[in-house]
Amino acid sequence: MISIALLGFGTVGSGFYEILKREEEKIEEKINDKVSIKYILVNDLSKNREQISSDTIVTDSFEKIIADENIDIIIELIGGETPALDYIKRSLSAEKIVITANKLLVANYFKELIKLAEKNKTHIFFEASTAGGIPVINMVEDYLAGDKINELHGILNGTTNYILSVMEKETVSMPETIKKAQALGYAEQDPSSDLGGLDALYKIVILANLAFSCAVNPEDIYCKGIKGITSYDIMYAEELGYKIKLIAAAKREDSGLRIFVSPFLIKKDDDFASTVGADNSLEIKSENLNHLFLKGPGAGKFPTGNAVIFDLIKASRFLLGDYKKSRSKKFNNIKINRKSDFKQSFYIRLQIEKNDSIIKNIKSMFDESNLADMILKDGSSDTPLLPLIILTRKISIQKIEKFMEYVENINGVLTINNIIPLKE
Mean pLDDT across the chain: 94
- Residues 291 and 306 reside in one and the same domain: no
> Nearest 5 degrees, angle CA 296-CA 190-CA 89?
75
- Residues 61 and 99 reside in one and the same domain: yes
- Residues 25 and 120 reside in one and the same domain: yes
- What is the pLDDT, as a whole number, of residue 338? 76
- State yes or no: pLDDT of 325 exceeds 90: no
Sign (positive or negative) of CA dihedral 295, 299, 302, 306: positive
List the catalytic residue out of 38, 203, 314, 339: 203
The predicted-structure confidence for 396-411, as pLDDT tens digits, reads as follows 988 999 999 999 999 9
Q: How confident is the model at residue 168 (pLDDT cuts 50, 70, 90)?
A: very high
| Inside any domain, residue 111 | yes
For residue 23, report the phi and psi dihedrals to the nearest 5 degrees. Answer: -115, 25
> What total number of domains does the chain contain?
3
- Residues 194 and 85 reside in one and the same domain: no
- Residues 163 and 250 reside in one and the same domain: yes
* Strand pairing class (97-100; 385-392): unpaired
- Residues 202 and 62 reside in one and the same domain: no
- State yes or no: pLDDT of 377 exceeds 80: no
| Inside any domain, residue 336 | no
- Residues 142 and 156 reside in one and the same domain: yes
The predicted-structure confidence for 79-137, as pLDDT tens digits, reads as follows 999 999 999 999 999 999 999 999 999 999 999 999 999 999 999 999 999 998 999 99
State the average pLDDT over residues 186-206: 96
Q: Is 243 annotated in the active site?
A: no
Proportion of the chain above pLDDT 70, given as a percent: 96
The predicted-structure confidence for 332-345, as pLDDT tens digits, reads as follows 999 998 766 788 99
Sign (positive or negative) of CA dihedral 316, 319, 325, 329: positive
Q: How confident is the model at residue 424 (pLDDT cuts 50, 70, 90)?
A: confident
For residue 186, report the phi and psi dihedrals to the nearest 5 degrees. Answer: -85, -20
- Residues 306 and 282 reside in one and the same domain: no
Lowest-pLDDT range, 13-27, 190-204, 321-335, 383-397?
321-335
The CATH number for 24's domain is 3.40.50.720
| Inside any domain, residue 412 | yes
pTM, entire model: 0.95
- Residues 108 and 140 reside in one and the same domain: no
Domain containing 286 equals 136-297
C-alpha–C-alpha distance, residues 271 and 124, integer Å = 33
The predicted-structure confidence for 226-278, as pLDDT tens digits, reads as follows 999 999 999 999 999 999 999 999 999 988 999 999 999 999 999 999 999 99
- Residues 123 and 157 reside in one and the same domain: no
| Inside any domain, residue 254 | yes
The predicted-structure confidence for 209-221, as pLDDT tens digits, reads as follows 999 999 999 999 9
